[in-house]
Amino acid sequence: MKQLLLTAIASLGLLLSYGQQTINGTVVDTDNVPLIGANILVKATLTGTTTDLDGKFSLELPPGEQVLEISYTGYNSQEITVSPGQENLNVVMSFGQTLSEVVITGYGAQDRNSITGSVASVNAERIESFPIASIDQVLQGQAPGLIVLGGSGQPGSNNVSIVLRGPSTIQGSNNPIYIMDGIQISSKDFAALNINDIDEISILKDASSTAIYGASGANGVILITTKEGFDGKTKVSYNGQYGITSRARDRFDMMNSAQKLDFEALARRGPGWNLLPENPANAGLDETQLAANADQLEKLRNINTNWRDVVFRTGRTQSHNLGIRGGDNNTKFYFAGNYYQEDGVLRGSDFGRGTLRANFSEQVNDWMKIGIKASTGFSKSHQIQSENSINLNNPAALAYLINPYETVRDDDGNYTFGPTGRNPVEEAEFNYDETDVNKIVGQVYTEIEPLAGLKFTGRWGIDNTNVTSKDFIDPNSRLSTTVQGSQGQLDKNVAKTTWLTFSHVLNYKKIINDKHRFDILVGQETRKRNKDNYGFSVFGLTGGLESPAGATPGSAANPNFIPTTTGAVRKKILESYLARLNYTMDDKYNLTVGFRRDGNSVFGKNNKWGNFWNAGASWIVSRESFLQNNRVLNFLKLGISYGTNGNSEGIAEREQYTLY
């Protein structure tokens, strides 16, 4: 029996050995110099290896004929077929250019090498590696000249400033505009969008690149492209993350209680001076009173509350993303759902979000494609009272302003309030400031190609955002004594914003004699915005309800409880016409010219329209014959560009009118 078992195992080993084959080889350049770290991959598999210091490699292959993909940075990639039984392979790679990278630009896509302006991009692989909540955080450090300034560490905060190549105006907006799948969105809505749905982000930085967006492009343009389906086997993916965050380490030491009291004695103010017998104000005290002061001073010296440990905590983050992606030659789809939760490092701060996305396209026939892209998201966040100011409403500031000899509660369990009159733990327990965001972004589109090289693209989209904010001050809290009526306050604000976008673009591409490449684009776009917001503040919340029903009715005899209201309705419309020509000769010389005419309802009566243009040229020097055998420069491009654009984003609806 043992002999039979050993024979079977030996036979199985022989069969496995016979089924596999090992290929050995070297990879060198045209000068027979070994290429270190060249990639060798079995096509359509994850089986691969790299060359060693001598350019050699050894790789076990599956049985049968196989195709190897060999690649090395700066050299032309190769595909080589390995026959069954072949044992050796010597590869000679020629120096050349890497495959062209297509980059999303305004109203289309271009070969990166042919772009005459300044464009940076971030791909999906890079984006998905960030365990963070918002798009603006992804952009941090991803492009030269792009600065992201956060108002605080508040989870889900939209109090973020993004500046490209410095401020462009003193009073107006300095933030770039954001275009997602051809539909402009607001940076304030990032909290309700899932970064895992993004396939690529392109950053248009110079005037030549942004001039195609005319009156809105002065501060740069950030283009966001979401994922789509593909032709192939359906792929189900799950991405889960969990992490912790902590506050930044202090670069200074805070005084303990003894040190603070000694400092107060030197400064002649505070308990450290008030309780000393040397204080002239204590000259008339008897021994009993002086002894009581000394005991109190000693008690304070031994307290040492670390208010940073009281106010701050270890933040926790979790994210779960489920995606389904696939399709065939005609139908492509992408569906995804995401849940994100972040508890901030400040007690009382948190952010939660849920999103759903559906991208679907159908190739109806040889010349027509239709599709839909839609996403919906909901987020809820709790903020601190003052997010980006150093004052007594900010618990992060209180952690450094409250004395170390003060305690959270006294011996009877009641909250204490020192010279600042504030206790961040008490405020976090009684009061809150929360924001709910509901967002829907969607579009239907069609692509029609009636002739070879000619394509019409129509997009009809909506961006609808509802934001509800609620600020509650409990009548039993200490902060209640500072509000109108001193018996609590409830503020509620609701803002509903709807953008409608209608975009129609005609694009013609033509290659003549494999030498001249033309890309001509003309288009028209209309954008309409309706914004409706209202809010109120009620006082005297003695009924125990966190709603207007619990407020005390105000009257002329009791004016402290009269509610206050706010509200506004705003409308805005933009009409645009645009054209652009991209020309490339010999894949080395590039020229771009563009024009856009914008009309905007916020412009003055005599200046309703603005004209904007751009021009740029570039020369890919490294493709010239005199640099073909160059071993120093992989790629060299010289370029010059110029453009004009405007900044209508910071103009309010009624600023065109003279008010008295």
Task: Bin 112: left if φ > 0, else alpha if -120 < ψ < 50, else beta.
Answer: alpha
Q: What is the pLDDT of residues 389-398, one digit of tens each?
A: 677 888 888 8
Task: Kindly state whether residue 171 falls inside one of the protein's structural domains.
Answer: yes
Domain edge (last residue) among 548, 569, 587: 587
If you average pLDDT over residues 318-337, what whole number do you get?
A: 94
Q: Is the pLDDT of residue 495 over 60?
A: yes
Closest CA to 645 of 212, 176, 117: 212
The pLDDT confidence band at residue 647, using thresholds 50, 70 and 90, is confident
Task: Kindly state whether residue 474 falls inside one of the protein's structural domains.
Answer: yes
For tokens 């733990």, what's the residue? 425
Confidence at residue 99, expressed as pLDDT on a 0 to 100 scale:
43
The pLDDT confidence band at residue 152, using thresholds 50, 70 and 90, is low
Confidence at residue 176, expressed as pLDDT on a 0 to 100 scale:
87
Confidence at residue 5, expressed as pLDDT on a 0 to 100 scale:
36
Positive or negative, the CA dihedral 275, 277, 283, 284 is positive
Identity at 19, one-letter amino acid code: G
If you average pLDDT over residues 538-547, what whole number do you get?
A: 85
Which strand (E) or helix (H) includes residue 179?
strand 177-180
Same domain for 110 and 82: no
Q: Is the pLDDT of residue 379 over 50?
A: yes
User: CATH number for the domain including 199?
Assistant: 2.170.130.10
Same domain for 44 and 132: no
Same domain for 500 and 352: yes
List the structure tokens of 592.
Answer: 């771009």
Task: Kindly state whether residue 24 falls inside one of the protein's structural domains.
Answer: yes
If you average pLDDT over residues 600-619, what whole number do you get?
A: 91
Identity at 468, one-letter amino acid code: T
Q: What is the mean pLDDT of the chain?
A: 86
Q: Are 334 and 327 in contact (CB under 8 A)?
A: no
Q: What is the pLDDT of residues 336-364, one digit of tens each?
A: 999 999 999 988 899 999 999 999 999 99
Comparison of pLDDT for 135 and 477, the residue scoring more: 477
* Helices and strands (H and E) in the chain: how many: 10, 29
Cα–Cα dist 271/295, whole Å? 12
Same domain for 366 and 280: no
Cα–Cα dist 349/316, whole Å? 11
Q: Is the pLDDT of residue 101 over 90?
A: no
If you average pLDDT over residues 249-254, what whole number do you get?
A: 88
The pLDDT confidence band at residue 150, using thresholds 50, 70 and 90, is low
Cα–Cα dist 346/353, whole Å? 19
Task: Kindly state whether residue 656 falls inside one of the protein's structural domains.
Answer: no
Confidence at residue 555, expressed as pLDDT on a 0 to 100 scale:
84
Domain edge (last residue) among 217, 241, 265: 241
Domain edge (last residue) among 93, 124, 155: 93
Task: Kindly state whether residue 632 falls inside one of the protein's structural domains.
Answer: no
Task: Kindly state whether residue 75 falls inside one of the protein's structural domains.
Answer: yes
Task: Kindly state whether residue 608 falls inside one of the protein's structural domains.
Answer: no
Same domain for 549 and 434: yes
Q: Are 116 and 105 in contact (CB under 8 A)?
A: no
Residues in the chain: 660
User: CATH number for the domain including 64?
Assistant: 2.60.40.1120
Same domain for 373 and 420: yes
Confidence at residue 2, expressed as pLDDT on a 0 to 100 scale:
40
Q: How many domains does the chain have?
A: 4
Same domain for 525 and 380: yes
Task: Kindly state whether residue 47 falls inside one of the protein's structural domains.
Answer: yes
Q: Is the pLDDT of residue 18 over 60?
A: no
Q: Are 639 and 116 in contact (CB under 8 A)?
A: yes
For tokens 């060798």, what's the residue? 40
Same domain for 128 and 73: no
Cα 444 off chain centre by: 25
Same domain for 406 and 360: yes
Q: What is the pLDDT of residues 444-478, one digit of tens each?
A: 999 999 998 999 999 999 999 999 999 999 999 99
Cα–Cα dist 651/529, whole Å? 14
Confidence at residue 326, expressed as pLDDT on a 0 to 100 scale:
93
Q: Are 443 and 340 in contact (CB under 8 A)?
A: no
Confidence at residue 151, expressed as pLDDT on a 0 to 100 scale:
58
Identity at 581, one-letter amino acid code: L
Same domain for 578 and 440: yes
The pLDDT confidence band at residue 16, using thresholds 50, 70 and 90, is very low
Same domain for 502 and 440: yes
Same domain for 294 and 423: no
Cα–Cα dist 158/137, whole Å? 11
The pTM for the full model equals 0.76
Cα 473 off chain centre by: 32
Instruction: Tell me which range, 39-53, 419-433, 520-534, is most confidently predicted by mean pLDDT.
Output: 520-534
Find all residues with CB under 8 Å of 103, minimum gap 6, and list them.
109, 110, 111, 112, 115, 119, 121, 202
Structural domain span for residue 117: 102-241
The pLDDT confidence band at residue 653, using thresholds 50, 70 and 90, is confident
Q: What is the pLDDT of residues 184-209, one digit of tens each?
A: 887 766 767 788 888 888 888 888 88
Q: What is the pLDDT of residues 508-538, one digit of tens each?
A: 999 999 899 999 999 999 999 999 999 999 9
Q: Which ranges of 387-486 does DSSP label H, i.e. alpha helix?
A: 395-401, 424-430
Question: b or e along 535-556 (b: 16 or more beta carbons within 10 Å of the residue's beta carbon)?
Answer: bbbbbbbeeeeeeeebbbebee
Confidence at residue 27, expressed as pLDDT on a 0 to 100 scale:
93
